[in-house]
Chains A and B, each alone.
Chain A
Protein backbone atom coordinates (compact mmCIF):
# COMPACT_ATOMS: atom_id res chain seq x y z
CA UNK A 1 0.00 0.00 0.00
CA UNK A 2 2.81 2.37 0.85
CA UNK A 3 4.56 1.53 -2.39
CA UNK A 4 1.33 1.99 -4.29
CA UNK A 5 0.93 5.44 -2.79
CA UNK A 6 4.49 6.27 -3.65
CA UNK A 7 4.12 5.12 -7.23
CA UNK A 8 0.80 6.90 -7.57
CA UNK A 9 2.40 10.16 -6.52
CA UNK A 10 5.76 9.55 -8.12
CA UNK A 11 5.28 12.24 -10.74
CA UNK A 12 4.26 14.75 -8.10
CA UNK A 13 7.17 13.87 -5.84
CA UNK A 14 9.69 13.94 -8.67
CA UNK A 15 8.27 17.25 -9.81
CA UNK A 16 8.71 18.72 -6.36
CA UNK A 17 12.26 17.43 -6.14
CA UNK A 18 13.09 18.68 -9.61
CA UNK A 19 11.69 22.10 -8.83
CA UNK A 20 13.12 22.50 -5.37
CA UNK A 21 16.36 20.64 -6.09
CA UNK A 22 17.49 23.38 -8.42
CA UNK A 23 19.64 25.60 -6.24
CA UNK A 24 19.62 28.59 -8.47
CA UNK A 25 17.19 29.18 -11.24
CA UNK A 26 19.09 32.16 -12.49
CA UNK A 27 18.33 33.59 -15.87
CA UNK A 28 20.74 35.64 -17.92
CA UNK A 29 20.77 39.33 -17.12
CA UNK A 30 21.22 41.84 -19.90
CA UNK A 31 24.06 44.33 -19.47
CA UNK A 32 21.61 47.20 -19.23
CA UNK A 33 19.98 45.65 -16.18
CA UNK A 34 23.20 45.53 -14.15
CA UNK A 35 23.75 48.06 -11.41
CA UNK A 36 26.28 50.88 -12.01
CA UNK A 37 28.71 49.17 -9.61
CA UNK A 38 28.38 45.87 -11.45
CA UNK A 39 28.85 47.61 -14.78
CA UNK A 40 31.91 49.40 -13.50
CA UNK A 41 33.40 46.19 -12.10
CA UNK A 42 32.72 44.21 -15.24
CA UNK A 43 33.29 46.97 -17.79
CA UNK A 44 35.88 44.96 -19.79
CA UNK A 45 33.10 42.43 -20.48
CA UNK A 46 30.47 44.94 -21.57
CA UNK A 47 30.59 43.91 -25.24
CA UNK A 48 30.42 40.19 -24.72
CA UNK A 49 28.29 40.18 -21.55
CA UNK A 50 25.03 39.33 -23.30
CA UNK A 51 26.64 36.34 -24.97
CA UNK A 52 27.83 34.78 -21.72
CA UNK A 53 26.02 31.81 -20.23
CA UNK A 54 23.99 32.03 -17.01
CA UNK A 55 26.71 30.32 -15.03
CA UNK A 56 29.42 32.61 -16.34
CA UNK A 57 27.34 35.67 -15.62
CA UNK A 58 26.62 34.49 -12.08
CA UNK A 59 30.33 33.90 -11.48
CA UNK A 60 31.24 37.37 -12.74
CA UNK A 61 28.49 38.93 -10.69
CA UNK A 62 30.03 37.18 -7.71
CA UNK A 63 33.29 38.93 -8.55
CA UNK A 64 31.51 42.26 -8.96
CA UNK A 65 30.20 41.95 -5.40
CA UNK A 66 33.77 42.13 -4.13
CA UNK A 67 34.81 44.93 -6.45
CA UNK A 68 34.01 47.84 -4.06
CA UNK A 69 36.33 46.32 -1.45
CA UNK A 70 39.37 46.18 -3.74
CA UNK A 71 42.23 48.65 -3.72
CA UNK A 72 42.73 50.82 -6.84
CA UNK A 73 45.67 48.63 -7.87
CA UNK A 74 43.60 45.47 -7.50
CA UNK A 75 40.76 47.05 -9.47
CA UNK A 76 43.21 47.86 -12.24
CA UNK A 77 44.54 44.31 -12.24
CA UNK A 78 41.02 42.94 -12.32
CA UNK A 79 40.14 45.05 -15.34
CA UNK A 80 43.36 44.09 -17.09
CA UNK A 81 42.78 40.39 -16.60
CA UNK A 82 39.02 40.02 -16.73
CA UNK A 83 38.64 39.76 -20.48
CA UNK A 84 41.30 37.11 -20.82
CA UNK A 85 39.81 35.25 -17.86
CA UNK A 86 36.42 35.21 -19.52
CA UNK A 87 37.91 33.68 -22.65
CA UNK A 88 39.50 30.75 -20.84
CA UNK A 89 37.79 27.39 -21.01
CA UNK A 90 36.10 26.14 -17.82
CA UNK A 91 38.82 23.51 -17.60
CA UNK A 92 41.56 26.14 -17.77
CA UNK A 93 39.88 28.19 -15.06
CA UNK A 94 39.46 25.11 -12.89
CA UNK A 95 43.13 24.25 -13.33
CA UNK A 96 44.14 27.85 -12.53
CA UNK A 97 42.12 27.72 -9.32
CA UNK A 98 43.75 24.45 -8.34
CA UNK A 99 47.19 25.91 -9.00
CA UNK A 100 46.40 29.05 -7.03
CA UNK A 101 45.09 27.04 -4.08
CA UNK A 102 48.13 24.76 -4.16
CA UNK A 103 50.42 27.79 -4.29
CA UNK A 104 48.57 29.34 -1.34
CA UNK A 105 49.56 26.37 0.79
CA UNK A 106 53.26 26.86 0.12
CA UNK A 107 55.13 28.43 3.09
CA UNK A 108 55.27 32.23 2.83
CA UNK A 109 59.07 32.34 2.44
CA UNK A 110 59.02 29.91 -0.46
CA UNK A 111 56.07 31.75 -1.99
CA UNK A 112 57.94 35.00 -1.83
CA UNK A 113 60.97 33.41 -3.46
CA UNK A 114 58.82 32.12 -6.30
CA UNK A 115 57.18 35.52 -6.73
CA UNK A 116 60.61 37.13 -6.84
CA UNK A 117 61.70 34.66 -9.47
CA UNK A 118 58.62 35.29 -11.58
CA UNK A 119 59.10 39.06 -11.33
CA UNK A 120 62.70 38.68 -12.51
CA UNK A 121 61.55 36.54 -15.43
CA UNK A 122 58.87 39.11 -16.28
CA UNK A 123 61.44 41.89 -16.24
CA UNK A 124 63.65 39.87 -18.56
CA UNK A 125 61.02 39.54 -21.28
CA UNK A 126 62.30 41.02 -24.53
CA UNK A 127 60.29 42.85 -27.21
CA UNK A 128 60.77 39.79 -29.42
CA UNK A 129 58.38 37.86 -27.16
CA UNK A 130 55.55 40.30 -27.93
CA UNK A 131 55.63 42.17 -24.62
CA UNK A 132 57.27 45.60 -24.42
CA UNK A 133 60.12 46.07 -21.94
CA UNK A 134 59.33 47.59 -18.58
CA UNK A 135 61.41 50.70 -19.24
CA UNK A 136 61.55 51.68 -22.91
CA UNK A 137 64.78 53.28 -24.13
CA UNK A 138 64.63 57.05 -24.48
Chain B
Protein backbone atom coordinates (compact mmCIF):
# COMPACT_ATOMS: atom_id res chain seq x y z
CA UNK B 1 0.00 0.00 0.00
CA UNK B 2 2.99 2.23 0.52
CA UNK B 3 4.00 1.91 -3.11
CA UNK B 4 4.06 5.28 -4.86
CA UNK B 5 2.41 5.44 -8.27
CA UNK B 6 3.39 7.67 -11.08
CA UNK B 7 0.42 9.50 -12.67
CA UNK B 8 0.94 7.55 -15.85
CA UNK B 9 0.78 4.30 -13.93
CA UNK B 10 -2.45 5.41 -12.26
CA UNK B 11 -3.93 6.20 -15.65
CA UNK B 12 -2.97 2.75 -16.94
CA UNK B 13 -4.41 1.08 -13.87
CA UNK B 14 -7.67 2.94 -14.25
CA UNK B 15 -7.91 2.08 -17.94
CA UNK B 16 -7.22 -1.55 -17.15
CA UNK B 17 -9.91 -1.50 -14.47
CA UNK B 18 -12.30 0.15 -16.88
CA UNK B 19 -11.81 -2.61 -19.41
CA UNK B 20 -12.81 -5.11 -16.73
CA UNK B 21 -16.11 -3.38 -15.91
CA UNK B 22 -19.19 -5.12 -17.23
CA UNK B 23 -21.25 -3.56 -20.00
CA UNK B 24 -24.43 -2.81 -17.93
CA UNK B 25 -22.30 -1.05 -15.34
CA UNK B 26 -20.62 0.97 -18.05
CA UNK B 27 -24.01 1.93 -19.45
CA UNK B 28 -25.19 3.09 -16.05
CA UNK B 29 -21.99 5.07 -15.55
CA UNK B 30 -22.41 6.72 -18.95
CA UNK B 31 -25.99 7.58 -18.17
CA UNK B 32 -25.02 9.03 -14.80
CA UNK B 33 -22.31 11.10 -16.43
CA UNK B 34 -24.73 12.45 -19.02
CA UNK B 35 -27.19 13.41 -16.31
CA UNK B 36 -24.47 15.05 -14.26
CA UNK B 37 -23.32 17.06 -17.24
CA UNK B 38 -26.88 18.11 -18.02
CA UNK B 39 -27.35 19.20 -14.42
CA UNK B 40 -24.06 21.06 -14.55
CA UNK B 41 -25.21 22.99 -17.64
CA UNK B 42 -28.54 23.79 -16.05
CA UNK B 43 -26.80 24.97 -12.89
CA UNK B 44 -24.61 27.34 -14.88
CA UNK B 45 -27.50 28.88 -16.81
CA UNK B 46 -30.08 28.88 -14.03
CA UNK B 47 -29.22 32.15 -12.23
CA UNK B 48 -29.84 34.26 -15.31
CA UNK B 49 -33.25 32.72 -15.87
CA UNK B 50 -34.10 32.20 -12.26
CA UNK B 51 -34.60 35.90 -11.80
CA UNK B 52 -37.16 35.80 -14.52
CA UNK B 53 -38.81 32.74 -13.00
CA UNK B 54 -37.66 30.37 -15.72
CA UNK B 55 -35.39 27.99 -13.90
CA UNK B 56 -35.17 24.63 -15.65
CA UNK B 57 -33.80 22.79 -12.66
CA UNK B 58 -36.56 20.59 -11.46
CA UNK B 59 -35.21 20.31 -7.93
CA UNK B 60 -34.97 24.06 -7.62
CA UNK B 61 -37.75 25.35 -9.81
CA UNK B 62 -40.35 24.82 -7.11
CA UNK B 63 -38.27 26.90 -4.74
CA UNK B 64 -37.46 29.60 -7.23
CA UNK B 65 -40.90 29.83 -8.79
CA UNK B 66 -42.08 32.26 -6.12
CA UNK B 67 -38.74 33.78 -5.21
CA UNK B 68 -38.58 36.36 -8.00
CA UNK B 69 -41.91 37.77 -6.81
CA UNK B 70 -40.53 38.27 -3.33
CA UNK B 71 -37.31 39.68 -4.68
CA UNK B 72 -39.20 42.25 -6.72
CA UNK B 73 -41.60 43.17 -3.98
CA UNK B 74 -38.69 43.45 -1.56
CA UNK B 75 -36.71 45.55 -4.00
CA UNK B 76 -39.71 47.77 -4.66
CA UNK B 77 -40.31 48.20 -0.95
CA UNK B 78 -36.69 49.15 -0.47
CA UNK B 79 -36.83 51.64 -3.33
CA UNK B 80 -40.11 53.02 -1.98
CA UNK B 81 -38.61 53.42 1.47
CA UNK B 82 -35.54 55.16 0.10
CA UNK B 83 -37.69 57.38 -2.09
CA UNK B 84 -39.96 58.18 0.81
CA UNK B 85 -37.04 58.95 3.09
CA UNK B 86 -35.41 61.23 0.53
CA UNK B 87 -38.70 63.03 -0.17
CA UNK B 88 -39.43 63.44 3.51
CA UNK B 89 -35.94 64.76 4.20
CA UNK B 90 -36.17 67.23 1.31
CA UNK B 91 -39.63 68.36 2.39
CA UNK B 92 -38.53 68.82 6.00
CA UNK B 93 -35.46 70.79 4.93
CA UNK B 94 -37.49 73.04 2.65
CA UNK B 95 -40.10 73.63 5.34
CA UNK B 96 -37.40 74.46 7.86
CA UNK B 97 -35.82 76.95 5.46
CA UNK B 98 -39.20 78.57 4.79
CA UNK B 99 -39.97 78.80 8.51
CA UNK B 100 -36.62 80.46 9.13
CA UNK B 101 -37.27 83.08 6.47
CA UNK B 102 -40.83 83.62 7.69
CA UNK B 103 -39.77 84.19 11.27
CA UNK B 104 -37.02 86.51 10.06
CA UNK B 105 -39.53 88.62 8.10
CA UNK B 106 -42.01 88.63 10.98
CA UNK B 107 -39.42 89.74 13.52
CA UNK B 108 -37.18 91.90 11.35
CA UNK B 109 -36.52 95.47 12.38
CA UNK B 110 -37.78 96.55 8.99
CA UNK B 111 -41.55 96.68 8.71
CA UNK B 112 -43.19 93.80 6.91
CA UNK B 113 -44.68 95.93 4.16
CA UNK B 114 -41.17 96.53 2.85
CA UNK B 115 -41.14 92.92 1.69
CA UNK B 116 -44.80 92.50 0.83
CA UNK B 117 -46.11 93.72 -2.51
Interface size class of B (residues with CB under 8 A): 35 or more
Whether the pair B99, A17 counts as a contact (CB closer than 8 A) is no
Residues of B contacting A: mostly: helix
Contact of A20 among B53, B84, B96 (CB under 8 A): B84
Residues of A contacting B: mostly: helix
User: What total count of A-B pairs have CB within 8 Å?
Assistant: 111
- The chain B residue with its CB closest to the CB of A102 is B115
For the complex formed, measure the closest distance between the CB of A121 and the CB atoms of chain B, giving whole angstroms. 10
Given A77-B107, A95-B117, A100-B101, CB of A17 within 8 Å of CB of B80: yes
A94-B99 Cα distance, complex, nearest whole Å: 12
Given A5-B53, A96-B115, A97-B105, CB of A20 within 8 Å of CB of B68: no
Whether the pair A81, B52 counts as a contact (CB closer than 8 A) is no
Contact code string B48-59 (vs A, CB < 8 Å = 1, else 0): 000111100000
Interface residues of B in 74-98 (CB under 8 A from A): 76-77, 80-81, 83-84, 87-88, 90-92, 95-96, 98
Interface residues of A in 56-102 (CB under 8 A from B): 58-59, 62-63, 65-66, 70, 74-75, 77-78, 81-82, 84-85, 88, 92-93, 95-97, 99-101
- The chain B residue with its CB closest to the CB of A85 is B106
Whether the pair B99, A59 counts as a contact (CB closer than 8 A) is yes
- The chain B residue with its CB closest to the CB of A58 is B95
**Chain B: residues with CB nearer than 8 A to chain A?**
51-54, 68-69, 72-73, 76-77, 80-81, 83-84, 87-88, 90-92, 95-96, 98-112, 114-117
**Chain A: residues with CB nearer than 8 A to chain B?**
1-2, 5-6, 9, 12-13, 16-17, 20-21, 23-24, 58-59, 62-63, 65-66, 70, 74-75, 77-78, 81-82, 84-85, 88, 92-93, 95-97, 99-101, 103, 115, 118, 122
